[in-house]
């Protein structure tokens, strides 16, 4: 079943090795849950207080990608940008590809980070364009072209009409749109998906300030 939340944050790692991912991220107290309960917990955690940034759900491998889901890895939150970026770089150095996403059903913003072989290829955070890295590519590039933005959105004047048009609806370029092309879109997981492993809940370590 699909994974949805009002504020959906996740890291996608191209590996079936849940144990390796958990170790790399420093996750503890891993315990099994059902897919339904895990999916429900993701939205519950997004609305919760104390556990919001300390509980994650780790999916089984879905089409070859393991997902770590929860506000803990929310790239949109300013305090998370540096540690999540570092985590993705390290995960990609070990597993080849690691990506971070934030999608809001409340129109609060979109964010994504694509890392391969230890290098960040692209980072875009709608709420913090000054923190962008790399060059737009793939669906982001195509949609920017469709909006008449030949360069990078982070280089535009904040008062630029084209940028305002883009920001009004994120140019139809949602984090889920980028994820669907670069890995997988968790909001579109269906019964035909190839899944291997267990759904887990884990405690995530606090990021060092």
Q: Kindly report the pTM of this predicted structure.
A: 0.94
3-class secondary-structure state, position 173:
coil
Which is nearest to 45 in space by CA: 29, 28, 57, 35? Answer: 57
Provide the mean pLDDT of the chain.
Answer: 91
**pLDDT score recorded for residue 161:** 83
* CA 159 from centre of chain: 28
pLDDT tens-digit profile of 53-94?
A: 889 999 999 999 999 999 999 999 999 999 999 999 999 999
**pLDDT score recorded for residue 17:** 94
Residues near 107 by beta carbon (within 8 Å), at least 6 away in sequence = none
pLDDT band, very low/low/confident/very high, at 1 (cuts 50, 70, 90)? confident
Please give the Cα distance from 100 to 112 (Å, whole number).
Answer: 5
pLDDT tens-digit profile of 116-155?
A: 999 999 999 988 989 999 999 999 999 999 888 889 989 9
Cβ atoms within 10 Å, residue 165: 13
Which 8-state DSSP code applies to residue 6?
Answer: S
pLDDT tens-digit profile of 171-204?
A: 688 999 999 999 999 999 988 899 988 999 999 9
Secondary structure (DSSP) of 43-102: HHHHH-STTTTTEEEEPPEETTBEEEESGGG-TTSGGGHHHHHHHHHHHHHHHSEEEEEE
Please give the Cα distance from 30 to 70 (Å, whole number).
Answer: 15
């Amino acid at each position: 079943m699909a994974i949805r939340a009002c504020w959906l944050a996740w890291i996608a790692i191209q590996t079936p090795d849940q144990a390796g991912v958990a170790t790399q991220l420093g996750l503890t107290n891993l315990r099994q849950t059902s897919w339904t309960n895990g999916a429900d917990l993701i939205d519950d955690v997004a609305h919760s207080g104390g556990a919001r940034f300390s509980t994650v759900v780790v999916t089984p491998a879905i089409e070859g990608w393991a997902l770590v889901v929860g506000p803990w890895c929310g790239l949109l939150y300013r305090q998370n940008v540096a540690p999540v970026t570092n985590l993705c770089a390290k995960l990609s150095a070990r597993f080849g590809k690691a990506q971070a996403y934030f999608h809001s059903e409340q129109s609060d913003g979109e964010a994504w980070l694509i890392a391969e072989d230890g290098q960040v290829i692209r980072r875009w955070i709608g709420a913090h364009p000054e923190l962008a890295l790399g060059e737009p590519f793939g669906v982001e590039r195509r949609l920017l072209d469709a909006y008449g933005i030949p360069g990078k959105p982070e280089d535009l004047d904040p008062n630029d009409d084209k940028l305002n048009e883009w920001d009004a609806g994120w140019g139809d370029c949602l984090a889920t749109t980028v994820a669907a092309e670069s890995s997988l879109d968790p909001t579109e997981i269906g019964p035909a998906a190839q899944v291997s492993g267990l759904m887990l809940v884990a405690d995530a370590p606090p990021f060092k300030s």
